[in-house]
A and B are shown apart, each in its own frame.
Chain A
Amino acid sequence: MIDFTLSKAQQAARDYAHQVALEEMRPLSLECDRTEEIPESFFWNMQRRYWGGAAAQARAYGQDEGVRQENLLSVISQEEMAWGDAALATAIPGPGLAAPPILSQGTPEQQARFLSIYMDGQLHWGALALTEPGIGSDVAGMSTTAVLDGDEWVINGHKHYITNGARADLIVTFATIDKSLGREGIRPFVVPKGTPGLIVGRIEKKMGLRASQTAELIFDNCRIPKENLLAGRGERKAGFKAAMGTLDATRPMVGALAVGIARAAYEAACEWLREELPAGYPPHKRRAWEEELKELGQEIEMARFLVWRAAWMADRRIPNSKEASMSKAYAGALVMKATATAVRITAPGEESERKLLIQKWFRDAKVFDIFEGTAQIQRLVIARRLFPNIDIP
């Protein structure tokens, strides 16, 4: 039955994440953006809070409710976290983007082996290495190679734009086992931190999300055990499916992050109009801004619903490529509109923390129209799903 009310677990997840965003993230936001560093204490606080208190409560409710809802709980939390600070949200300890391919492509033994390290209460991260200097959305052109040599895979190649790449304990790396197979030759490998031949290159300087670590990784005859290949060698398309399956799960989460930033900017602009309007500000202009914000508020709700729907489908195991792309494309465009509107509205105001945050969100926003597939790629995915029998190159 169609229902837009949050269950107990969903409400608990939202409340909890909001509290964390308010108490742990907002106070650090501007400083971390300026220094491009995150204090160690933040990681420990997040680690402690994640495993205790309200989050555990939310998970318990979730189990009580007897339906799969981890994707929904995740997007609900992500929106709140990004409302706090999207860069800090990407740095929260945990397997992060490494989890979806391990869960979808790993054997039970591999899942236990790789994910158990995240349960010891220490600080651990995971990363996903897909993008290369020569390829982004076109994963079939991947040039990183994996060659089986006895009991080991030997990986050679160059990956970049890897979130948490330098601090990750496990890096799920996509590489081709046979270039002539195109995308069907692509396989996911788990590369542990400290493996000889895994070299951390430069840390990127970015327009926004500056506190988020974006690393370059070089694989120079990097040898990993044979058992670190996710999915068997015989399974054709498995690797590509893992890459794409990961995107179907992560695109709604990126959408949720975008919604969170958009909402933060929208709220700040509304507050500015209420509280900081300079004396002599023309009333007709204020009314025009209020109209524009009203519209924006409605668009934020639509973006959120698209995100929720895509996550809900993932939980129900309903194929959701099209809907995941819709949520990402819509939210990606919206967050730019929302932050740009907030910048324009507050432009005449004095410099204030609120204005600095709005400027930061404006810088953070642009990448949401790019990573996990650009706006154009999302439209391509949607169009190909709408017209399965037509070749849309």
Chain B
Amino acid sequence: MLDFAPTEEQEEIRKLAQSIALDHLRPHARKAETERDSPNELRLTLAQTGLTTPFPEEYGGSGPLEAVTYSLIAEELAYGDPGLALNIVGSLMGPLTVWLAGSREQQERYLPPFGNSTSGYLQRGSLAFAERTGGYTLADIHLQARRTSDGYLLNGTKRDVVHGQHADLRVVLARLAEHESESAEGKLCAFVLSDAQEGLSIQAEEEKLGLQAAPSATYLFNQVQLPAEALLGEAGSSGVVRAATLYQILRAAIACGTARAAFEYCSAYARERIAFGRPIVSYQGIAFIIAEMAMKLDAARLLTWRAACSWDRGEADETLIYEAECAQRQAVKMAQAATTDAIQVMGGAGFMQDHPAEMWMRDAAAME
């Protein structure tokens, strides 16, 4: 039955995430941008609340993840700072992909370090999704895996891999070519990379437009040989689809949080700023821009929630793929417009680094 209200429990979790966002993310956003990472204290705080350990309790987590709940959390974190939110979510996607797509044995091997109550917060995961030839849609995943006698051979690229340069757990999405024919698109699959891998070149992406607080890397695979056990679960399984679509949904939620930050910030500014004797928001030319922002933010958030709901209900892979892609595409597009308009509302002040609006506009652009 149609319903648009979060549960009381979700509302409490959302409020917790919001207070952390306002107390620990927003004030450190510029510093994190310069330092290009999240401070350990922040990660410890988050780990203590259980917000960053959404895996089953048997692996030390705080209970398995629900996409709707986590979308609410991701939006709040991004409302604090989009870069730090992506830093946190990007890290989580490593262990989460193992949990969703991996075998029991693989879960037992890779998850406990992340759930460790004293050192888990220091662990960094990563999930390589986008490539040099595309964006965040599953159809753009082409990294090729071929079966060999003792494992798999990988060729292709990855980009924008959050924590790719220093992750403790590196997971990559690829296509397993079942037959020799080059044309057929292989089954979606996920591999765990180990540290030193011959043929794999990892380059940190130093000069990013935005989202600097989420350090990222490019991977170049040139005949990289992986052992058979590197494949998480089975190729073409729903688990891999669920991991990939979860990342899209959470990226959409981050885009919504980014837009909301910009919307609220420029609203407060427009309320205070006086021009020609009146607050500028009392002019329709400004008020309409902000009304439009609010409307499109709500629209994109509903699309994101819809995909998250389907994920929680365990809908068919095709449904998840379609809905998660819609959410990610529309939310990112909306966030780009909202952050750009926020600067416009603020005029010259919006362009200055004294205000975070210019950072959010770069962040939203860097979500492609």
Contact = CB atoms under 8 A, between A and B. Distances in A.
Nearest to A387: B281
Contacts of B279: 390
9 contacts: A2-B10, A2-B309, A4-B306, A5-B313, A6-B2, A303-B299, A305-B303, A308-B2, A393-B282
A67 interface: yes
Given A298-B329, A390-B282, A4 B267 contact: no
Interface in B261-299: 267, 271, 279, 281-282, 284, 287-288, 290-292, 294-296, 298-299
B326 interface: yes
B1 A302 contact: no
A302 B282 contact: no
A302 B308 CA distance: 15
A45 interface: no
A39 B353 CA distance: 66
A137 B89 CA distance: 47
A72 to B, nearest CB: 6
B267 A387 contact: yes
**Residue of B1, B5, B267 most packed against chain A (CB within 10 A):** B1
Contact of A392 (B7, B281, B302, B306): B281
A256 to B, nearest CB: 13
A298 B137 CA distance: 15
A1 B6 contact: yes
B136 to A, nearest CB: 15
Contacts of B313: 5
Contacts of A306: 295, 298-299, 302
Nearest to A311: B2
Given A379-B292, A386-B291, A390-B279, A298 B1 contact: no
Given A379-B291, A383-B291, A298 B6 contact: no
Nearest to B263: A386
Interface string A366-378: 0000000000101
A309 B1 CA distance: 12
A111 B282 CA distance: 40
Contact of B3 (A312, A378, A382, A386): A312
B157 interface: no
Leading 9 A-B pairs by shortest Cβ distance: A383-B287, A7-B1, A305-B302, A382-B291, A302-B299, A379-B291, A326-B295, A3-B3, A379-B288
A301 interface: yes
Interface of A is mostly: helix
A80 to B, nearest CB: 15
Nearest to A1: B7
Contact of A387 (B287, B300, B303, B329): B287
B152 interface: no
A145 B60 CA distance: 73
Nearest to B327: A298
Contacts of A305: 299, 302-303, 306
A227 to B, nearest CB: 39
A72 B2 CA distance: 9
B310 A4 contact: yes
Nearest to B296: A330
Contacts of A386: 267, 290-291, 294
A299 B307 CA distance: 14
How many A residues touch the partner, as a band?
Answer: 35 or more
B326 A301 contact: yes
Given A67-B1, A305-B302, A309-B4, A382 B284 contact: no
A235 interface: no
Contacts of A379: 284, 287-288, 291-292
Interface in B295-329: 295-296, 298-300, 302-303, 305-306, 308-310, 313, 326, 329
B212 interface: no
B339 interface: no
B2 A312 contact: yes
Contacts of A392: 281-282, 284, 287
Contacts of B308: 2
Given A298-B303, A390-B282, 16 more contacts: A1-B5, A3-B1, A3-B309, A5-B2, A6-B1, A69-B1, A298-B330, A302-B300, A302-B302, A330-B299, A379-B291, A380-B284, A382-B291, A383-B287, A387-B267, A391-B282
Contacts of A387: 267, 271, 281, 287
A7 B159 CA distance: 42
B68 interface: yes
**Residue of A1, A2, A306, A393 most packed against chain B (CB within 10 A):** A2
**Residue of A383, A387, A390 most packed against chain B (CB within 10 A):** A383
B298 A10 contact: no
A211 B287 CA distance: 37
A169 interface: no
Contacts of A79: none
A383 B290 contact: yes
A25 interface: no
A98 B294 CA distance: 31
B175 to A, nearest CB: 22
Contacts of B10: 1-2
Contacts of A378: 291
A15 to B, nearest CB: 15
A380 to B, nearest CB: 7
A308 B1 CA distance: 11
A24 interface: no
Interface in A4-61: 4-7, 10
A300 to B, nearest CB: 11
A326 B7 contact: no
Contacts of B290: 383, 386
Nearest to B283: A392
A383 B295 CA distance: 10
A312 B3 CA distance: 7
Contact of B309 (A4, A72, A309, A383): A4
Contacts of A1: 3, 5-7, 10
A391 B281 CA distance: 9
A323 interface: yes
Interface string A335-352: 000000000000000000
A65 interface: yes
Contact of A326 (B282, B287, B294, B300): B294
**Residue of A322, A323, A380, A390 most packed against chain B (CB within 10 A):** A390
Interface in B329-352: 329-330
Contacts of B3: 1-3, 312
